[in-house]
Amino acid sequence: MPFITTKDGTQIFYKDWGSGQPIVFHHGWPLSADDWDSQMLFFLQHGYRVIAHDRRGHGRSGQPNSGHEMDTYAADVAELAAALGLRDAIHVGHSTGGGEVARYVARHGKGRVAKAVLISAVPPIMLKTEQNPGGLPISVFDDLRSQLAANRAQFYREVPIPFYGFNRPGAKVLEGVIDNWWRQGMMGAVNAHYECIKVFSETDFNSDLAAIEVPTLVMHGDDDQIVPYADAGVLSASIIRNATLKIYQGYPHGMCTVHADMINPDLLAFVRG
């Protein structure tokens, strides 16, 4: 399997398929590159080079005791992009991966990035503060940490239910999707996943968003039970100078998986536009 080794010795697993303009996919917590199966195959079949990595501590990548914060996540992506010689790339991030895209593009992407996409993403900041009164209280994230520490395997059976909106009336529950979420989560390191809760909830991306100059598509479902759209996608699009906002009525956090038939064509239109 292909890996790069970062400056601190961490091995980062990646997939790299096809040729043409590169599209780089950044996964959410606590998943892996496999969460992008529907998009990777779709864009490969449309003539693009598709790349996705497992964040450190996640999936098949190394499980170090350090570097579980957004600056290092973005630096790992920068090392991957340099190793693969990526130019004119489109970076697509879901959830925590959207934060990773924002920081990477702002700090490392100059001359390498053509466009960016933030899907159900955590920026500008999830935590409720005086400056962000619409955010979620710290107790929400403390509860996530407590459940993770108490019984990660059971916790990872429960999270996919609201993640994909399977708790909504009339929703078709896809057991394979739940199993695949659990499989990906359990591949990673519990310490990395625990630390990443702080990363996705408390990292402030306001300055990153303000620094992004490339065209950016912001996509969010208005029934997102994980990252509420009004304090995330709507605010992010108002900060990024060249952003397009698209809100999907009734769509959940994991809309890339359960509504790939709608999301993929919209992504393609933006990529081609």
State the catalytic residues.
95, 224, 253
**CA separation, residue 272 to residues 10, 21, 109, 141, 264 (Å):** 35, 11, 20, 38, 12
Q: Which residues contact 273 (CB under 8 A, 6 or more apart)?
A: none
- Nearest-angstrom CA–CA distance, 132 and 27: 25
DSSP state of 34: G
- Nearest-angstrom CA–CA distance, 126 and 102: 14
Report H helices in 131-243: 138-150, 152-158, 160-163, 175-187, 190-202, 206-211, 233-239
Q: Which two tokens stand for residue 199?
A: 């990363």
φ, ψ at 267 (rounded to 5°): -65, -45
